[in-house]
Amino acid sequence: MKKFGLIGYPLSHSFSQKYFTEKFRKENIHDCVYENFSLPDIEQISSILISEPQLQGLNVTIPYKEKIIPFLHFKNDVVEKTGACNCIKIKNGKLYGYNTDVIGFEISLKKKLKDYHKHALILGTGGAAKAVEYVMKKSGIDYKFVSRKVSSDNTINYGDLDESIIQSNTLIINTAPIGMYPNVDAYPNIPYHALTAKHYLFDLIYNPEKTMFLQKGEEHGAAIQNGHEMLIIQAEESWRIWNEG
């Protein structure tokens, strides 16, 4: 039996486990299972690999997309450039790291992206934000990070956001878990009243389907997109990676 899984903490709910279990059922794949591995400490990855010799692939979620890097034996170019990994192929005891967030986000983002979306705000600075930054650079979109802690010249504090900043950055991407179930009433602290019909709000969260962040954007006529399609794309890319070569 081939085993695949997800590592992160906490794993109160998992898109990946539900998605792959359903995929195996629909496609009559009887020799594969997908499990969650909730790890309070990333160091526990070593014991998981020993106790689960049938493991052939892992997805990586919050808060380990960056912390998993030292455990990898190989990193592809995207992982090298982003410093974040959300997909691992296990072969002959070696961990091969990939980042499928990038392709998932890029494909989903571009369906509603317009020519005038030239300046972006990336809310959050974690592992998912690194994938978004990679796509911004690739797409030629100017961007700034927004965080509670300013750690670089390209990062601004939530408290410094004003109408002019919101109006000049018509693409706003939330990469933080603010508003994720069960905290569905929470939302990033930005001047929503400055949003217009030219704005495009993308939330990497998929549960709930429409976060408060997206609801507030929609109320002002902005285009909105959640992270569900992105997750499906990155999941299928993970499956491809695990089964190639």
So which residues are the catalytic ones? 65
**Of the candidates 20, 67, 73, 18, the residue with the CA atom closest to the CA atom of residue 44:** 67
Annotate 142-203 with DSSP letters as a single string.
EEEEEESS--STTEEEGGG--HHHHHH--EEEE-S-TT-TT-TT------GGG--TT-EEEE
- Going from the C-alpha of 211 to that of each of 139, 207, 232, the distances in angstroms are 26, 8, 18
CA distance 41 to 243: 28
